Structure 1
């Protein structure tokens, strides 16, 4: 029954993306290339709304069928919808950065209220419980996830491939543990899969801020929810999300150190330099998926199974990614 429902979600996502593409073309909602773009052909935008609507509908159905808890559903629905609406409005006009940030933190605290904040974290046998401070730390994590996903949605298919491979990887880890519901990550993967058919290089439609922001905060919420089951599962999420977390964070730090205005649009992420170097988006998008499957998933599995200490697993996963990001000039000046 669940697998049939997942197939239906993917099909609806595919069809709704087609409808949104027709709408964008009719209303001239086109992303026209400029000096800060990584694409060269005018392309419709806003297709991420299909991901949002399909996932929200799926969560409502799962909640009605008692296959997802009420609190977890409210966390995902409220925060995700708020971020998607903000992104949609920003896609169709412009919202000042301070109001967007206020909206992002409001959505984060909404989600944290329903999931109970940040779970106690175990490191080398010691348990760290931050209490009320944990809400602040977790909120900053969610807002960073939201924004970094937006930053990383800069070439064809990369944000979609990241979401699908991470969610499927997590679902496998949950399944191997036994007794952990795989519903939420699989619903998100299938909601993205239908859109990916249109977004895969060369993209016929872009996700837009509504879709990328929604994916970022939803993945962040799912990761924080897993921490209440075990710290190792949470670390597994962080490992699987490593490509995006490392590229975005290294880029941000280098730009901050240089004194750049970090809120301004730029093309200085490692994946953007790589796409320009190879003159195509496809190799970079495919390598992202391969890294998730061949490098990060095995490490996440070792951590979740307790065969590798979480912090060590995180370092083993991230250090090569940091070196790779630096090799491809993450945060470097674009003109160099």
Structure 2
């Protein structure tokens, strides 16, 4: 507990200070997001501050490896894949990278991470473990690429991406404690601290944006942690999928509705449920706080249930996600935008 507390505080302070440095860098290089019709912000704001979080997390992985708290394959999986995605995002933040090259980098990163983790482990869908073999590894790669991209899509209002990181990581710690698997505990403590450190700069009013380098990094790392934990105990993978439900449900439902309507779903838009909600309440704050509350008060208990009860895990997932789907529909996720 002492080590975890020190890592949390240290990561918070390091990210807090580094983010300030990156803000000055962004201002000096005119790396500014200018609001437009697709934006959820009204004030020009520097971007790319999330690189501080990426640097702290990567350095922490090295420290944890040196201390023997994570294995070399885990270090190579999370550190290597995360670094590739961060570099692709950094280049895209500075000069637009064509979508096909971004996607290639994302799949290479996902494949690298899965290789070192041994691919998708056996998972529990109903009441028994299932090995999906090669198909499972391919599905896992698509899942990871979708997760890192949707995390970028969902990073659209003040504080929401950091609050998602902090509360999902907290939920992961609770689930790990219940399951008795502490392998990722110290890394999660680092992510919580770093998320809080960046949150100071991004909430309730954004003085700098996270940027693609960080949002993609977080999405991929959380997905790889889910795969890593699933290899330790099969129910844990689905528990992590439950924990990530707020972002997964909104982004996936939005994407599907845009595809059905025949829209160019790959273009920038602001038709996610959380974006409609922030306009409805004329504020980002209640929406971002609601995401954190849902994660802690609803999804975390459901994830705990997934690893402790004899109920089918897939049934628990459906029950956990159903209210999220209804809420997303209520706030018109994927509906046509009006300007």
Moved more, 200-209 or 303-312: 303-312
Does 2:204 match 1:228? no
Q: Cα distance, 1:231 vs. partner?
A: 2.5
Query: 1:179: Cα distance to partner?
Result: 4.2
CA contact (8 A) 2:181 2:232 kept: no
1:232–1:306 CA contact under 8 A, matched in 2: no
- Which deviates more from structure 2 when the two are superposed, residues 125-134 or residues 208-217? 125-134
Aligned mate of 2:246, from 235, 243, 247:
243
Of 273, 276, 279, the match for 1:273: 276
Partner of 1:330: helix, strand, or coil? coil
23-32 or 317-326: which moved more? 23-32
Contact 2:56 2:194 (8 Å CA) reproduced: yes
What's the Cα RMSD here? 1.2
Match of 1:177 in 2: 179
Unaligned runs of 5+ in 1: none
Higher mean C-alpha displacement, 190-199 vs 57-66 = 190-199
Give TM-score scaled by structure 2 length: 0.97
User: Which of 201, 204, 209 is residue 206 of structure 1 equivalent to?
Assistant: 209
Matched positions, count: 336
SS in 2 for 1:36: coil
Q: Deviations over 1:180-223 (max 9, x none)?
A: 32122222222222111111121111000001100110111001
Aligned partners of 1:296 and 1:57: how far apart in 2?
A: 30
**Shift, 1:134, TM fit:** 1.9
Q: Equivalences for 1:1-336 in 2 at 5 Å?
A: 1-2=2-3, 3-181=5-183, 182-335=185-338
The Cα of 1:276 is off from its aligned counterpart by: 0.6
**Whole-Å separation in 2 of the counterparts to 1:44 and 1:179:** 40
Q: Is the 8 A contact 1:86 1:210 kept in 2?
A: yes
Q: Unpaired segments of 5 or more residues in structure 2? A: none
Structure 2 CA distance for aligned equivalents of residues 291 and 6 of structure 1: 23
The offset of 1:243, in angstroms, is 0.6
TM score, norm. by length of structure 1:
0.98
Q: What does the per-residue CA deviation read over 1:272-300, in whole Å, with 9 as the maximum and x for residues that have no partner?
A: 00001111100100100111111111111
